[in-house]
Amino acid sequence: MATIPGSAGLPLLGDRSYDFYKDPVKFMEKNISYYKNRNFIGRFLNKSTVFVGCNKTLKCLLTEEADKLDLGYKMFMGDIYGDNILFTDGLDMVSLRESLILLFTPEAVSTYQDTIKHVVTNFIHKIDTENPVCLYQTLKRMCIEVCLSLFLGIDFDTMTELTETIVSLTTTHWHGIISVPVNLKFPIGGASTFSKALDAKAKLLDIIQNKKTSTSRHFAKKIQEVPKGDNGIFVNNHLLLFTSALVPKALSSLLTSFMIEVAKQKVSKPLYQVIIFYLQRF
């Protein structure tokens, strides 16, 4: 077996995450040139990591050696999100999927439409049409309101303080995903980004627990009625996943790309009707 060049260096001090995030292509090209090899070792997110830049090696990993691979997402995101369907495989994944799929049948989804339509319509009507707005940021805020309203039954018109608290916590929580996973708290200077993210996670789970037991409708009630719904960790971790910044960021990216394409076309329907239609399809 060929020896892979490079070194993981010392924990924290040898981390290369910033260099990689700053410019992934430049990072790979620089190290491939330095090591004279398309595969090399470095420290990423404070973990010893093999960077693969060789198509042949990658093909081998995904085919002949696939049975030896572990689910990488859990290594980097498991502490931030806890156990959920994203980080599960095998028979456990099948069991989780069978429970969650009951929440997304055509009949179940049809019951969510009124909530989505109400939130989107209200949001679009409040947009200041006299001044330019950042399309991505505007759509992201709208998706946040849709997710929190749908999955936790949050009313943005009457729960202003709570909604802003949740939005702030989800942002802090998200930053933990793109930070070095080191849980450090300092007497002076605060805590590491990852530590702040874990604190935000705990606070979000407290809010989820409270809303889960106080609401009598919406998704938070329905998820407790599926086969695994009596498992508090199962319910809370999936509500955390569905209401985290991950979903609004993904949705708003898709909608932003879609709106850019729509702007090139002639559309007869009002803008908010177009957005509602495609948001429901996503």
Is the pLDDT assigned to residue 84 strictly greater than 80? yes
Is the pLDDT assigned to residue 180 strictly greater than 80? no
User: What confidence score (pLDDT) does residue 54 get?
Assistant: 93
User: What confidence score (pLDDT) does residue 281 get?
Assistant: 54
Is there a domain that residue 89 lies in?
Answer: yes
| Burial bucket for residue 139 (CB in 10 Å: 0-12, 13-18, 19+) | buried
CA dist 29 and 39 (Å) reads: 11
Q: Tell whether 208 and 125 lie within a shared domain.
A: yes
Residue 32's domain spans which residues?
A: 17-69
Is the pLDDT assigned to residue 215 strictly greater than 70? no
Is there a domain that residue 44 lies in?
Answer: yes
Q: Tell whether 65 and 175 lie within a shared domain.
A: no
Q: Tell whether 27 and 134 lie within a shared domain.
A: no
Confidence band, pLDDT 50/70/90 cuts, at residue 37? very high
Q: Tell whether 128 and 199 lie within a shared domain.
A: yes
CA dist 65 and 173 (Å) reads: 34
Q: Tell whether 41 and 93 lie within a shared domain.
A: no
Token pair 């929190």 is found at: 148
pLDDT in tens, 235-255: 999 999 999 998 999 999 998
Domain total in the chain: 2
Is there a domain that residue 171 lies in?
Answer: yes
pTM score, whole prediction: 0.76
Contact 239, 152 (CB under 8 A): yes
Q: Tell whether 27 and 145 lie within a shared domain.
A: no
Token pair 């990993």 is found at: 61
Q: Tell whether 60 and 88 lie within a shared domain.
A: no
User: What confidence score (pLDDT) does residue 239 get?
Assistant: 93
User: What confidence score (pLDDT) does residue 171 get?
Assistant: 92
Is there a domain that residue 75 lies in?
Answer: no
User: What confidence score (pLDDT) does residue 45 get?
Assistant: 79
> What are the structure tokens assigned to 209, written together?
């627990």
Contact 225, 65 (CB under 8 A): no
Sign of the Cα torsion 119, 121, 122, 123 reads positive
